[in-house]
């Protein structure tokens, strides 16, 4: 198999919002792409929306862990919340996907979970542990043959961009000391120009019909002035957490 990219996300719609341009770009270039989604169960409305989004992005079939969203028990009736499952259980299940798919690059959120959502923060922690564990034959031997990705990249946004978008939406700059998403600009190791695939990314986002006008990230993006929204859709930013610089380009 040629180059492969695996994204690990907390909820349906995150694959489009945070990594949709990257997934569409690599799929168009002939790479294999896939997404592990930690919450929501097969048969739910949002799982169906995820399937349509992945089809638009060229990222294969849903890979659902089937745990419950931290705030929505109906996301996976009878299943534990993702944030409550034993760490080794969640790590082992992501390890199995890494070893089966054998990606060159793994994508997930930065340490703040992009904007602080507990499911996002937990997905970050689980993915970091899983990428490390996947390369050791002593760990999770039942999950398949060991595999070590070339790079682990954390989806994020430069603070300068966050501040500019904040002012575009609210008309004033952030308050001094206000907690904001993103990382200092110098911590961004990779900016991908995904402008050619922005329309596909936007369409994948809108496949999540139940979240349009409701989800925090979707609401922010749709409320941005057109020029500011175009900048967000045309760029995706990452911090290299481990592995080889330049594995994602």
Please say if the pLDDT value at position 215 is more than 60.
no
Q: How far apart are CA 206 and CA 210, in angstroms?
A: 9
Query: If you count them, how many residues does the chain have?
Result: 249
Please say if the pLDDT value at position 230 is more than 70.
yes
Please write the tens of the pLDDT for every residue from 141-162: 999 999 999 999 999 999 999 9
Domains of the chain plus CATH, in order, are 4-242 (3.40.50.10320)
Lowest mean pLDDT among 13-17, 136-140, 215-219: 215-219
Question: Which residue bears the tokens 């961009």?
Answer: 161
- Label the pairing between strands 235-243 and 151-156: antiparallel
Q: How far apart are CA 3 and CA 26, in angstroms?
A: 9
What pLDDT score was predicted for residue 219?
67
Listing DSSP states for 38-64 in one string gives: EE--TTSHHHHHHHHHHHHHT--S-EE
What pLDDT score was predicted for residue 88?
98
- Contact yes or no for 82/67 (Cβ under 8 A): yes
Please write the tens of the pLDDT for every residue from 74-110: 999 999 999 999 999 999 999 999 999 999 999 999 9
If one counts every other C-beta atom within 10 angstroms of the C-beta of residue 116, the result is: 10
Name which residue leads in pLDDT, 166 or 238.
Answer: 238
């Amino acid at each position: 198999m040629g180059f492969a990219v695996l994204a690990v996300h907390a909820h349906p719609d995150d694959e489009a919002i945070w990594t949709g341009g990257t997934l569409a770009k690599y799929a168009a270039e002939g790479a294999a792409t896939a997404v592990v989604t930690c919450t929501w169960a097969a048969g739910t409305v949002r799982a169906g929306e995820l399937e349509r989004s992945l089809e638009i992005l060229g990222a294969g079939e849903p890979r659902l862990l089937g745990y419950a969203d931290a705030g929505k028990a109906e996301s996976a009736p009878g299943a534990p919340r993702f944030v409550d499952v034993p760490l080794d259980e969640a790590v082992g299940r992501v390890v199995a996907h890494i070893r089966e798919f054998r990606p060159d690059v793994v994508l997930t959120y930065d340490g703040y979970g992009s904007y602080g959502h507990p499911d996002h923060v937990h997905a970050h922690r689980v993915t970091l542990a899983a990428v490390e564990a996947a390369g050791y034959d002593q760990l999770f031997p039942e999950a398949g043959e060991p595999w070590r990705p070339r790079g682990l990249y954390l989806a994020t946004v430069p603070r300068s961009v966050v501040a500019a978008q904040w002012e575009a939406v609210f008309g004033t700059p952030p308050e001094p000391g206000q907690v904001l998403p993103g990382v200092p600009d110098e911590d961004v190791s990779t900016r991908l120009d995904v402008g050619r695939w922005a329309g596909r990314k936007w369409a994948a986002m809108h496949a999540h019909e139940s979240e349009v006008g409701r989800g925090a990230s979707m609401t922010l993006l749709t409320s941005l002035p057109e020029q500011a929204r175009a900048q967000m859709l045309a760029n995706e930013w990452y911090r290299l957490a481990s592995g080889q610089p330049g594995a994602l380009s």
